[in-house]
Amino acid sequence: MSITLEKIYTDFRAKEKLAKKLLEQMNWFGSITDFDPKTGAALPKSLSGFLAKVAQPEASEITRDRLWRITEHCRASVERLFHSLNESPRREHALLPVHAVRELDANSFIKLSNRPGRTIREKLAGNPYIQAVRRFQSVDLPENRLLKAFAIRLAEMLDLRGDCLGQEDELLSKIYLWLRSDEAQAIGNWENLPPNNTLLAHRDYRHVWDAWRWLQTLDEDITSDLSQLDVREKTMRLWQQCAQMWLDGKHLFAEIPLLFDYEKFEILPWTSKPPLFKEVKYKMPRHLRQSASAEPICVDITALHPRYASGDGKGAQSLAAPFLWQRWQRENETVDIELFGSDAVLLNPDATTISAPDLFFAKDNATELFDPAARAFTTRLREEFKNDTLIWLAPDFLNDFELEVIRRNLNARFPNAEPLPRSVAAVFAQADPAKITGEGYAIIVVDSIGGKTTATKLIAKRDKNLAKRLPITKGFYWERCPPVVIPGEEAERLGGSGYDIITLDANGRWHDAIRPAKPPFIEAAHLKRIPNIGNFAFCINLMESPVMGGIHLHALQQQVADIPLWRDQIPELSVKVMKDGHQQRFHLVLRGTTVKPIRGKPVTIPVDEFFTLPAGRPHYSFPLYVGDKGDDFGFSARLDSPAFPLENKVDCELNLTFEYGADDPYKLVFTPRDKSFPPIRATWRRTEEITDAPAPEYPQPMTWAELQRFPKQDSNKTSDLLDWVERAIEQLDRDFYIRPKQRTTGTVNRKWLTDKIGGQFTFATCKSTDESVFIHQNSFVHELSYADFTEGAEISFELQERDGKFSGWKVAGPRYKDEVRLKNFDEESAKNLVASIRKRLYFPVIQVWRDGRSTGDRECPKGFADAMKARGEHLVALLNESGIPEQVKNEIRFLMACMHKDAPENCVQWITGQVEGQKIRDLRAVGFALGDVSQQWQKDLLSQLVANPSNDALSILAYAIWREQQFVEKFSLANLQSILNALNIMLNIKQYPPRKDEWTARNWIRATTEPLELLLGLLRTRASSTPEIKILLQPHQKITKELAKKIERVTEIVTLSNIKLFSRVKINIQKPSGDRTPDLLYALRLYLTGDDGANAIHISSVSDGNTDETI
């Protein structure tokens, strides 16, 4: 059985218990809930805010039941629609006097033709009216019909409410007034049509449509409410009990979002557990809000409980509310809560917590979360401080770009919001103008905040007008210099791991508030030893927030109006541009540029040079660099215009202005000198945090089949590298040994004869030829005499043939056997043999065994594997020959090292011995020997190198990382961090030596190129499947930015040295016309900065040999 609203109201008037109980429950839920003005759904609330509302409900004479909710949801929309209904043009046929006719159609002429008369004049003579088309604006539209039907129905309900509950609604009289209007009378009846686009999309009509639907189901909803009275009563009691516990102040409640369901009368915590609380021994005061101040305020928001001061003489105070904000998120549900009245913070995995200090010091303070957090904090400040003037303190080491979020939100809520450096406030709080000895008097302010300790110098300057207007200043104002970060002094920074408020972790453990540590005291003597600080007369160590100095400065400034009591040296600002074939800094703001901090008065900053925009780009983006060291701080200037891309390069004049405290302090306008397009204002953009920056590719490894069809350089022919290796090692045997030729036996068939010069000769016969074989006495082996062999004697010899005539060589007896003999090597022959090995064997051996290939591979041809087994044994045998020079043996060892896991044991010992003894003679051999790090000895070798990342170790890794594709995956996160730190030091490349002989030049180039090649290889970690490793070298990381600065410095050194870098890594890259930066350095710059141009880089090959040939 359905129960109507009329019955509930009637029963309530009759004091029926169920009706009273129902309305009390609905009134309670409506009183403690806020509703979404767009959808009408109950909004989530923070636990503390909800408990405060339940514990101290607002007094109201209105019963907030379902009808109240319907009325409130549409009240503003209905009132607006009564004054501005939708209209639509209409046309109709009407009998109009002739003078009012504006349009005729075919029907008009048909009607006219039926009248008597020959002409129009005659037809209209007796009746000057004609049927014509009349156009007008009609309000009789479906959405207005719904509005009228809804208004009638709502008026009936409100009338009933007034009669039964005695609660009159102002909307009722407005509804009756509108229903009697001509507009309402012209609207037809609602026919229960489906909603059109206007009803669903129009802000006001949509509210009417929602309220109409709720009215249709009102009786069903009330029936459901009555069936749930007992369950809802339990819900009320539970939360009223929690609210009483909160109000008593003997329990700490951890903040958590509460989710409301109006239809089901449900109040659910975000987590499945009930509200988490902890009993305390002391009673906590429940002051919901401090009294608001109407005085000008100086506030410091860099603390969790902001410090503030006003001119009321109460001194510096702290706001009781912690400035914390959380976003809770899961699947498709997101809830934001403010923690101003919270007892404790719940650090849940679903929650992202942002504090007021995070707006200044968090690394990612430009993400989408920080703007709503800043909006919540500044809105709260506006509730606390009613005066339009707000001076807010800013840390000295943060520039105007980094303060954008908090500055913009403060400006939106305080018309006279002014930023003030903490150092300036400190000087006005502690410095005595009477002690200033003259112009140039300097004070140092030491401030430890946000994890950094800075020293900021303020210099006294004289203004004659100021001395007259404000004698207490003695005519001196203060000029702030750029701050200097004190190395080795890091202040404590409270963050996600600790807050100045009680916390509850995800495991249910409570943690006490972590009070801020006392700032360190820096002695003046220590400061004077730090470069860039210079001389000073007095030092101020900030031990507390200098808000009193800020309000004192404001009071003094009011007395002198247009003469600022301090000036600011804004930091150097520059961009990088291409000039003379190299990237150079283009200064926008020069060092020592001083501005007057006056709100609303832009200061022009002159830029003398012209800026050239290159042709062919759809837009321009220039990274910004701050300070004399040119630090990239994560912002860029971007130019967009319909005139882009330009057909030709254009020179532009730059107009730069600075407005103190504005949302965008710097305004930069590019004006073309040839007036080819309108001036363009640059937009400042925070460099996006790239998490998937391009990674260098590794050249495609070759297959064994491709090695047998290796293309020759500058030719269409191919080479078989496997056959090349076999033949080249065979040639080595002939280079080292004298091996005997086949011997032939014969018989001396003549007596010895004498030749013209007195030598003895004879002839012999043999089975190998029918011709006689010439035998000379000098052809006998050294230990034998020709006279011992007479006619008919048997002999043996090496048969030689020339022009059809035969002779014998190495003649001896028939049983003589020649032995294999090692050649004798002198210094010259050893040097030639080394050059021969490098020329014939380096290239094929290096290429065949690169990319981790081994003769044990399944794809390796069996014939080659068998042949290399025998030839490998031959190479080992060569190392055992004592007559082979050591320099030649080292070449053989290098060839073995190239074979990595195919290398014989004595080569492995040679490699490991070098690393263990920390006396590495051949860096490249060790690097190549690492191969794919599949053998245990290779793993041990890599572990030793990574454990001690010396320059030699890094050079070895530079060879290994471009030798095998998966080598970079062998490093752990800790390994990579250690290597990168060592590499950052190694990249402090020294200037090219003045002595420019070939040996010096080659060594300097290799020492410069090896760390660069290693860095390029390590950038392949960006493609890692491990998130921690993937993110390690992304452009926003600190180490990446440091490495990028090192690359810029190396580029400058190479440019000044006028020497050509040779890199094993062959890079195909499109560089701007005139850019003479070496390809390796240019590619590294693009990769490290996250430039889109890195996507177009193609690494085609790696050249590991001594020749110009590459793979």
Q: Please write the tens of the pLDDT for every residue from 759-786.
A: 899 999 998 888 889 999 999 887 888 8
Instruction: Specify the range with the lowest mean pLDDT, choosing from 21-30, 270-279, 437-446, 527-536.
Output: 270-279
- Is the residue at 893 inside a domain? no
Cβ neighbours of residue 745 closer than 8 Å, sequence gap 6 or more: 766, 794, 795, 796, 814
Three-class secondary structure assignment of 271-307: CCCCCCEEECCCCCCCCCCCCCECCCEEEECCCCCCE
Token code pair at residue 491 = 């202040």
Above 70 in pLDDT, residue 800?
A: yes
Residues 161 and 95 in one domain: no
Is the same domain home to 753 and 708?
yes
Segment among 14-18, 133-137, 472-476 with least mean pLDDT:
133-137
* Shared-domain flag, residues 716 and 751: yes
Domain-embedded: residue 484: yes
Q: Is the pLDDT of residue 259 over 90?
A: yes
DSSP string, 573-618: EEEEEEETTEEEEEEEE-TT-EE---TT--EEE---S-EEEPSS-S
Q: Let me know the angle formed at the C-alpha of 466 by 464 and 470, rounded to the nearest 5 degrees.
A: 135
Q: Is residue 960 part of a domain?
A: no
335 and 442 housed in the same domain:
yes
- Does some domain include residue 691? no
For residue 623, the surrounding DSSP H or E stretch is strand 620-626
Is residue 14, in this structure, part of any structural domain at all? yes
- Determine the Cα–Cα distance for residues 623 and 778; give it in Å rounded to an integer: 85
Neighbours of 924 (CB within 10 A): 21
For residue 696, the tally of other CB atoms under 10 A from its CB is 22
pLDDT above 90 coverage of the chain, percent:
46
Domain boundary among 71, 106, 138: 138
Residues 671, 551 share a domain: no
Residues contacting 1103, CB < 8 A, separation 6+: 1064, 1066, 1109, 1110, 1111
Mapped onto helix, strand or coil, the DSSP state of residue 402 is coil
Of 885, 889, 918, 887, nearest to 906 by C-alpha is: 889
Contacts of 700 (CB under 8 A, 6+ apart): none
The boundaries of the domain holding residue 676 are 570-686
318, 370: one domain: yes
pLDDT per position as a tens digit, 879-907: 888 888 888 888 888 999 999 999 998 88
75 and 96 housed in the same domain: no
Number of domains in the chain: 7
| Dihedral (Cα; 247, 249, 255, 261), 10-degree rounding | -20
- Which residue spans within 469-546 are E strands per DSSP? 476-480, 484-485, 502-505, 510-511, 538-541
For 211, counting Cβ atoms within 10 Å of its Cβ (0-12 exposed, 13-18 middle, 19+ buried), the class is buried
Residue 1108: predicted pLDDT:
36
* Residue 120: pLDDT band with limits 50, 70, 90: confident
Measure CA 436 to chain center. 47
Residue 33 has pLDDT above 50, yes or no: yes
Instruction: Give the torsion sign (CA, 58, 60, 65, 67).
Output: negative
Rounded distance between C-alpha atoms, residue 1074 and residue 1057, angstroms: 18
Would strands 760-766 and 769-776 be described as parallel, antiparallel, or unpaired? antiparallel
The structure tokens listed for 1100 are 């085609």
Q: Is residue 1091's pLDDT more than 80?
A: no
Amino acid letter, 391: I
CATH number of the domain at 779, please.
Answer: 2.40.50.140
Burial (0-12, 13-18, 19+ Cβ within 10 Å), 379: middle
Average pLDDT over residues 102-108: 82
For residue 841, tell me if it sits in a domain.
no
Residue 395, pLDDT score: 96
Our CA angle for 502, 507, 510, nearest 5°, is 25
pLDDT for 819: 74
For residues 133 and 108, is the Cβ–Cβ distance under 8 A?
A: yes
Residues 6+ away with beta carbon under 8 Å from 198: 86, 141, 142, 143, 205
Q: CA-to-CA distance for 904 and 888, rounded, in angstroms?
A: 17
Helix (H) or strand (E) holding 879: helix 862-879
pLDDT value at position 391?
Answer: 96
The pLDDT score that the predictor gives to residue 407 is 95
Q: Given the structure tokens 């909160």, which residue do they identify?
A: 246
Closest C-alpha to 565, from 481, 480, 478: 478
Q: Which of 355, 375, 370 is nearest to 306 (CA)?
A: 355
Per-residue pLDDT tens for 960-1000? 999 999 999 999 999 999 999 999 999 998 887 776 677 77
Preceding amide of 645 cis, omega within 30:
yes
The pLDDT of residue 494:
42
| DSSP result, 27-42 | HHHHHH--B-TTT-PB
> Using an 8 Å Cβ cutoff, are 74 and 207 in contact?
yes
Residue 899 within a domain:
no
User: How high does pLDDT run on average in the chain?
Assistant: 87
Same structural domain, 1005 and 1026: yes
The answer to whether the beta carbons of residues 503 and 511 sit under 8 Å apart is yes
Of 724, 721, 734, the residue nearest 878 (C-alpha): 734
Going by their DSSP bridges, the two strands 307-310 and 297-300 should be labelled as: antiparallel
Q: What is the mean pLDDT of residues 688-697?
A: 79
Residue 583 has pLDDT above 70, yes or no: no
Lowest-confidence pick of 306-320, 819-833, 855-869 = 819-833
Instruction: Report whether pLDDT(689) > 80.
Output: no
266-269/257-261 β-pairing: antiparallel
| Mean local confidence (pLDDT), 919-939 | 91
pLDDT of residue 1107: 41
pLDDT in tens, 199-210: 788 899 999 999
Domain co-membership, 422 together with 535: yes
Query: What is d(CA 109, CA 131) in angstroms, rounded to the nearest whole number?
Result: 8
- Structure confidence at residue 249 as a pLDDT band (50, 70, 90): confident
Pick from 686, 715, 733: which residue ends a domain? 686
- Three-class SS of 981-1017: HHHHHHCCCCCCCCCCCHHHHHHHHHHHHHHHHHHHH
Task: Say if residues 274 and 65 touch (Cβ distance below 8 Å).
Answer: no
Q: Please identify which residue in the block is written with the tokens 């210079």.
A: 534
Residue 1105 has pLDDT above 70, yes or no: no
Which residue do the tokens 């220039």 mark? 622
C-alpha pair distances (Å), 1070 with each of 1009, 1060, 1079, 1083, 1095: 21, 18, 9, 10, 11
User: Is residue 21 pLDDT above 50, yes or no?
Assistant: yes
* Sign, CA torsion 460/466/467/470: negative
How confident is the model at residue 125, as a pLDDT? Answer: 82
Both tokens assigned to 851: 């990319």
Tell me, what's the pLDDT at 669?
A: 96
Give the confidence band of 274 by pLDDT, cuts at 50, 70, 90. Answer: low
Q: What is the dihedral of CA 889, 890, 896, 898, to 10 degrees?
A: -150
Q: Tens digit of pLDDT for each residue in 828-858? A: 888 888 888 888 889 999 999 999 999 999 9
- Binned at pLDDT 50, 70 and 90, residue 352 comes out as very high
The pLDDT score that the predictor gives to residue 337 is: 94
How far apart (Å, rounded) are the C-alpha atoms in residues 179 and 187? 10
Average pLDDT over residues 1016-1023: 92
pLDDT band of 534, cuts 50, 70, 90: confident
Instruction: Evaluate if pTM is beyond 0.85.
Output: no
- As a whole number, mean pLDDT of residues 1008-1034 equals 92
The mean pLDDT of 73-99, rounded to a whole number, is 87
Percentage of the chain with pLDDT > 70?
95
Helical H segments across 319-369, by residue range: 358-361
User: At 975, which amino acid appears?
Assistant: N
Same domain, 1011 and 1109: yes
Question: Are both 449 and 551 inside the same structural domain?
Answer: yes
Which one, of 320, 329, 333, 324, lies nearest residue 353 by Cα?
A: 324
- Comparing C-alpha atoms, which of 596, 545, 584, 550 is closest to residue 419? 550
Mean predicted confidence (pLDDT) in 285-308: 83
- Please indicate whether residue 685 or residue 470 has the higher confidence score (pLDDT): 470
Q: Give the pLDDT band of residue 1111 (cuts 50, 70, 90).
A: very low
- Assess contact for 345 and 324: CB atoms under 8 A: yes
Residues counted in the chain: 1111
pLDDT of 995 = 66
Residue 924 lies in a domain: no
Domain boundary among 567, 590, 617: 567
Same domain, 13 and 77: yes
Return the CATH number at 392.
Answer: 3.30.420.40
In which residue are the tokens 């750029």 written?
482
